[in-house]
A and B are shown apart, each in its own frame.
Chain A
Amino acid sequence: MNLLTVIVLGALLLCAVATSIAKDLLVSVVIFMAYSLLMSILWILLQSPDLAITEAAVGAGVTGILFFITLKKLHAIKVRNNEEKDR
């Protein structure tokens, strides 16, 4: 186990805890996407590049976007209108 693996594993743990602790759902989703990216690096270190590509595309890309659009539908993200900008 080299130094990079230890660093990635530590950051993975940090991200996993921060995802559940974060108060804002938007922040939580962003941290979750960072977790997926770290996980894909870990897959490469474990010598499975197929899984790494899939994890990066699905975990960090599409899942995050679907979470964002769901939060927007639930009005969990504040949409700033033009009226608010003028004030």
Chain B
Amino acid sequence: MKKKIADSLRKRFYWELSPLDEDMIASLSEKPHELTRSSNEALEVLEDVREVRVQRAQEQEQEMYRQIHRWSHASGVKIIRSMYRVLAAVTCLGIVFFLLWTVNTLPPFGEPENPYNNEVFARYVEWGPDETGAVNMVTGMILDYRAFDTFGEASVLFVAACSVLFLLKLHDHKDGKPTKTWLEAEYDDRFHEPKNDQILQFAAKLMVPVVLLFGFYVILNGHITPGGGFSGGAIMGAGLILYLNAYGFKKTERFFTYRTFQWITFGSLLTYAGLKSYSFYTGANHLESFVSPGTPGNILSAGFILPLNLCVGLVVMCTMYVFYTLIRKGGV
């Protein structure tokens, strides 16, 4: 009888029996001797016995819980902490070992027998300058052979800027009045902003024109010297951020507002798509374009690479600047 009930209970709950359960099983399976006499006294005695048993079982359980609690607060924490450190070190060393082992199996740098020295590479080196007109082979590759991939990259930047706008831009006007959050953000920024820092302003006065010119030079010479749209755009964006830090939003809002950002990004991406869309109509065979590559090495050469570089550079510059202003103030 007792075993049967215990089995059924175990089937039901699938766990070890606690003292309380055992007591219940014991009391259930017991033959009620006293009940046969059917007297009230016997019933009361039975009740008392049960109460005492339940109380004892409860105390046992509580003592067990207390022990577990004590263990987890004293030695358990120590064990888990040391385990955490050991596991972290083991994982770190394991990853380091795995990466070093992988690097060790790579072919050595700059050997002629390396697997990337195949016919694709040879064709790019041999025909690249003639077909694209770009002396800088990297730019020729990313803006002519694989211009569609670069269009995807520029779109990724645009989408990233859009998501940051969704997340961080505060509504500056509602029903013709500036909103409260916008005013608070503006006040907070004005309060923390270093005002009229002489050293910073003098340094910016010297550096910003040079930085902007250098960025523009890198963009324009993307097909001749190392560089191109992305790096030049990042340099120009850094220059704009420096100017903003030195002179504040009032000076930059004269030439760069939210509307400027919208139009520059939109126009650049549209120009890029328009200049490269003819490859769709020629069946992705966009090498034979109607614009001649010109003399490799001249500034006005390499077909569409110069305007494409300009487009990418403008998109990157605007994205960098807008990231900064959005994080700082919640607006452009």
Interface residues, chain A, CB within 8 Å of chain B? 46, 49-50, 52-54, 57-58, 61-62, 65-66, 69-70, 72-73, 79
Assuming A62-B241, A72-B192, is B231 touching A50 (CB within 8 A)? yes
Given A50-B138, A53-B218, A79-B192, check contact A58 B234 (CB 8 Å): yes
Closest Cβ of chain A to B27, distance in Å, is: 61
Tell whether A66 pairs with B227 under 8 Å between CB atoms, given A46-B109, A57-B235, A61-B238. no
Q: List residues of B (96-142) whose CB comes within 8 Å of A's CBs.
A: 109, 136, 138-139
- A61, B238: Cα distance in complex, Å: 7
B241 touches which one: A49, A50, A52, A65 (CB < 8 A)?
A65
* Residues in B whose Cβ lies below 8 Å from that of A54: 230-231, 234
Q: In whole angstroms, what is the CA distance A37 to B228 when docked?
A: 19
CA distance A16 to B241 in the complex (A): 27
Interface string of B124-163 (1 = CB under 8 A from A): 0000000000001011000000000000000000000000
A46-B109, A79-B192 known; 14 new pairs, CB 8 Å cut-off, are A49-B227, A50-B227, A50-B228, A52-B226, A53-B226, A53-B235, A54-B231, A57-B234, A57-B235, A61-B238, A62-B237, A62-B323, A66-B327, A69-B328
6 A-B pairs with the lowest CB-CB distances in the bound complex, closest first: A49-B226, A57-B234, A53-B231, A54-B231, A61-B238, A50-B226
In Å, the complex CA distance between A20 and B324 comes to: 25
Give Cα A69–Cα B136 distance, bound, in whole angstroms: 36
**Range of interface residues on chain B?**
20 to 34
How far apart are the CA atoms of A53 and B328 in the complex, in Å? Answer: 26
Closest B residue, CB atoms, query A52: B226
A61: chain B residues within 8 A (beta carbon) = 234-235, 238
